[in-house]
Chains A and B, each alone.
Chain A
């Protein structure tokens, strides 16, 4: 029986603020799952803490709502023990780039085959609007008593230098484009990072939906709003590494591109390199039947509760009588 979009929705009441950018991301994830026909029980959505942390409860697949900042280690542990699962990790910018920044960098070094989506809105929403790691220096969103005194981290550039092998950005009000990026991120062989620009209508009164749509950026001739976001694929940009010798240049281009901000904000795929072995490949190089017989699939006991493991070779070495 073909799976429909509605199959991926739960009956749980969604308590995000009206107009929240998170709805677009949630829809895009559900649409991507449906379009890919991923069986519901094979998918697991992991989340951190914050508004975005509630996402799994609205999706009818396995859903693991973890701790603040820890979504990546929880999800990597599950994926590595059962590589047959489709794992998507989601979280906010404070979750992933503040409290969880160490895990972000280390996840890049591993390149586990999964997708990580950051709902990036520049504020800590659920705790009422404090500055997040992606809020630009000097900005004063409405619930800040004073302008932000920290510089912002560039998640795309950080993903690049950390070793993520798929780096993309979407916009939560361009749901179809975002859905396509999610599908590409899930299909990517390796660790995919998807940064989603997601206006927080309640606490970020600077990077609003209107701002993204260019309300302050009229065409001098026509007077029409010029949207800030534009698609890389439509601008002749190709971030895909086709041969190993172009990897460094493509990464440099991606980092440079990731700093474009202001009147024009690129969305789409900044960088993709499937030539880097995944962590699963690296394990399989040491443990040959890892993929076929991963930790979660191994039977560890026999009839009567006897152990199925035979450690006699290790014990015999310890025997004192030769």
Chain B
């Protein structure tokens, strides 16, 4: 049945395949082609903890409007192996299409060794219920009967023909291009211009011009095949390139915070390899020479350490010399860093930890997503010391936030944990060009010249690094009693001071005196009040949406932002009143700001990617407001905007339990 009114430029495209078979490259080409074609994209990568062979896939949503999240429903499924078909066919919607290898239709479910037993059992049960054969053919028939268009492509035959035509007889080499050929077939069926696709292929392979040219030729061959052998009139989707948008970039989440570090003036980053944090460090190392606006090039020293304990302690050592210093890790590494985090808190050292969360505990799901480290990040370490915990909601935000977290670290002289996660790190999106006018660098109180009469000198003319500077406001509970003592850097003349993990005097020598202990604890912890006073409301928490009678208030943090905003837009279009409070500053808790935003509001819905509704607990602990609904997900797959939409509809219907566990995801 042919479709008369196709959906133009709004679809969800998925490509899958064995790890190492070029799924990422194909998805990056697709994303780039759409972006060069003036469309907006949001892509998300899923993969196993494995080098080669296990199933990986990449979904890319395309639209003419801004999009910030993935959805569960697939419009176009692109494959060149059997497993992708077995895993994702059920998610293809009516009117959608599937590109597949004609030689695979007889593959039996039992013949795909990388299917997890649990998934295989569920698939067999489905096909048996539907009375289908337990093969690729069975699952494809099931889709076809639901109105999905099937487009077979004889990849091997195309490769043989292409090999003869291009006079390149290395079929094994050419077969590596099957990813680009399958992508190209989908583009032909969607009616996307080949010229833009070719340009994207050349861009992705720009460092290897010969391979780029060969891929463009192969893509063109497959494109022509699909165009001439298939009738796409039954496909409900269409993609049309337009003029590219000015000042838009296509950026990956493992680049954005690293780019922010370069802008922020981070000059030392240490790391121990861990998924999904390593990309941040590797990007910095690949770009270690940093051009300067004025004068000669600068540089960032990136150092791979023997473990995460060395990573954070080296970064602290670097910070003491004045280099803006950071380390990037994930949960297991952060667990190892906690003792040193306390040392940095105790000695008021500015150091930034980029914590790319993944699903825990222990090794957990090492390549999958979770927001399970919120409470850990706010409390990690023995004893009590100040730290800032700041979370970014999306790729664009993570660039600007990275500059802010370095400022926080130096202004308030404490460690900062910048919460990112796998969902951000392994996503790709179009967004506005990062605006250099929007950023500002503030290094806080730094003393570089100390005269003999400096008020900061104390006993024996030693610099009082931890000078107790009292304010005259003893009667006010919420005001800091002590100011921040100016920092001096190792190597400064007349600035000699000591640091110790022991409680210490103003000069930094060990003391166990009870009065000094109290004063020093007050001095350190008071900085949290100073931080709350100086950090702006928008940086603490951001409010979106529409208020009104019976408005529902969604509260969340981190990478759920996109799914919530996209779902909220749909609901607002349908006339619903919804507000969304995105909490960004997680420690110190912005209690006044949060009281203003959610106090007095009914229908508070907490949405987050963990088991125990950690943000809900944090809010309740700090301002005594409890959530009406707890929406959680902990299966390792990010929350989609489809899930958020559905669950909010359910709550608004008045028939939802207090706690709902979301479970979608492949």
A and B, one complex?
Answer: yes
- Using a Cβ cutoff of 8 Å, how many contacts connect chains A and B? 248
- Indicate if the CB atoms of A73 and B433 lie closer than 8 Å: no
- Does A168 make an interface contact (CB < 8 A)? no
Contacts of B205 in A (CB 8 A): none
Interface positions, chain A 39-57, Cβ under 8 Å from B, are 39-42, 44, 46, 49, 54, 56-57
Residues B251 and A318 in contact, CB atoms below 8 Å apart: yes
Note all chain A residues with C-beta closer than 8 A to B443: 300-301
Looking at the assembled complex, report how far the CB atom of A296 sits from the nearest CB atom of chain B, in whole angstroms: 4
Which B residues are CB-close (under 8 A) to A74?
313-314, 316-317
Q: Contacts A56-B498, A77-B268, A308-B294 hold; do A320 and B318 have CB atoms under 8 A apart? A: no
- Taking the closest CB of chain A, its distance from the CB of B458, in whole angstroms, is 12
Residue B219 is within 8 A (CB to CB) of chain A in the complex: no
- A62 touching B343 by the CB < 8 A rule? no
Residues of B within 8 A of A260 (CB): none
The verdict on A147 contacting chain B, using a C-beta distance below 8 Å, is: no
CB distance from A185 to the nearest CB of B (A): 20
Digit string of B237-257 for contact with A (CB within 8 Å is 1, else 0)? 000000011111111000100
Select the stretch in A64-72, A203-211, A230-238, A245-253 that faces chain B.
A64-72
A291 to chain B minimum Cβ distance, whole angstroms, is 11
Residue of A whose beta carbon sits closest to that of B347? A64
A309 touches which of B270, B290, B459 (Cβ 8 Å): B290
A12 within 8 A of partner (CB)? yes
Any chain A CB within 8 A of the CB of B300? yes
The residue from B290, B343, B430 contacting A66, defined by CB atoms under 8 A apart: B343
A106–B306 CB distance below 8 A: yes
How many Å lie between the Cα of A314 and that of B299 in the bound state?
14
Q: A78 near B: Cβ within 8 Å?
A: yes
Separation in Å of the A114 CB from the closest CB of chain B? 11
Which of chain A's residues have a CB closer than 8 A to the CB of B259? 311, 314-315
Q: Say whether A82 faces chain B, with CB atoms less than 8 Å apart.
A: yes
Are B245 and A77 closer than 8 Å at their CB atoms? no
Q: A301 near B441 (CB under 8 angstroms)?
A: yes
Q: In the complex the two chains form, is A321's CB within 8 Å of B262's CB?
A: no
Interface segment among A24-32, A172-180, A264-272, A281-289: the answer is A281-289
Instruction: Name the CB-closest residue of A to B301.
Output: A295
**A85-111 to B contact mask, C-beta < 8 Å, 1/0:** 100000000000000001101100000
Would you call A67 and B501 a contact (CB within 8 A)?
Answer: yes
Nearest CB in chain A to that of B285: its residue: A286
When chains A and B are docked, how far (Å) is the Cα of A85 from the Cα of B490? 8
Given A319-B433, A320-B35, A320-B430, is A309 in contact with B498 using a C-beta cutoff of 8 Å?
A: no
CB neighbours (8 Å) of A313 from chain B are 291
B265 and A76 contacting across the interface, CB-CB below 8 Å: no
A60 surroundings in chain B (CB, below 8 A): 496
On chain A, the residues within 8 Å of B38 by CB distance are: 320
- Nearest Cβ in chain B — how far from A242, in angstroms? 32
The answer, yes or no, to whether B231 is at the interface (CB within 8 Å) is no
Residues of A with C-beta under 8 A to B305:
73, 106
Do A302 and B293 have beta carbons less than 8 Å apart? yes
User: Which residues on the A side are within 8 Å of B501 (C-beta)?
Assistant: 49, 65-67
Residues on A with C-beta less than 8 A from B262 are 309, 311, 314
Bound together, the chains give a CA A259 to CA B32 distance in angstroms of: 63
If A102-B307, A320-B250 touch, whether A61 touches B496 (CB-CB below 8 Å) is yes
How many angstroms from the CA of A294 to the CA of B324 in the assembled complex?
A: 12
Residues of A within 8 Å of B440, CB to CB, are 304-306
Of A54, A56, A315, A322, which one neighbours B244 at CB under 8 angstroms? A322
Query: Does A314 contact B287, Cβ atoms closer than 8 Å?
Result: yes
Closest residue of B by beta carbon distance from A79: B317
- Bound together, the chains give a CA A283 to CA B493 distance in angstroms of 27
Q: Which of B149-201 contact A (CB under 8 A)?
A: 199
Considering the complex, give the chain A residue whose CB is closest to the CB of B504.
Answer: A65
B303 to chain A: which residues have CB within 8 Å?
80
Complex contacts, B433 vs chain A, CB 8 Å:
315, 319
Residue in A closest to B248 when the chains form the complex, CB atoms: A320
B622 within 8 A of A: no
**Distance in angstroms between the alpha carbons of A81 and B299 in the assembled complex:** 11
Residues of chain A within 8 A (CB-CB) of B32 are 320
Judge if B497 is at the interface, Cβ distance under 8 Å.
yes
A293 close to B296 (CB less than 8 A): yes
Q: A150 in the interface, Cβ–Cβ < 8 Å?
A: no
Cα distance A319–B249 when bound, in Å?
4
On whether A310 and B317 interact (CB within 8 A), knowing A295-B323, A315-B434, A320-B35, the answer reads: no
B442 contacts A305, C-beta separation under 8 Å: yes
**Would you give the shortest CB distance from A7 to chain B, in whole angstroms?**
11
A228 to B251, CA, bound (A): 67
Q: How far in angstroms is the closest Cβ of chain A from B604?
A: 38
Q: Which residue of A lies closest to B266 (CB)?
A: A300
Q: Is A10 an interface residue (CB 8 A)?
A: yes
Cross-chain contact A65 with B489 (CB below 8 angstroms): no
Residues of B within 8 A of A310 (CB): 290-293
The reply to whether the CB of B289 lies closer than 8 angstroms to some CB of chain A is yes
Q: Which residues of A contact B403 (CB under 8 A)?
A: 307
Q: How far is the CA of A56 from the CA of B291 in the complex (A)?
A: 39
Query: Is B8 an interface position by the 8 A CB rule?
Result: no
Interface CB pairs A-B, < 8 A, 13:
A10-B509, A56-B498, A57-B498, A63-B497, A70-B340, A72-B310, A73-B313, A73-B317, A300-B267, A307-B436, A310-B293, A315-B249, A322-B244
6 A-B pairs with the lowest CB-CB distances in the bound complex, closest first: A300-B265, A77-B317, A77-B314, A295-B323, A295-B267, A106-B306
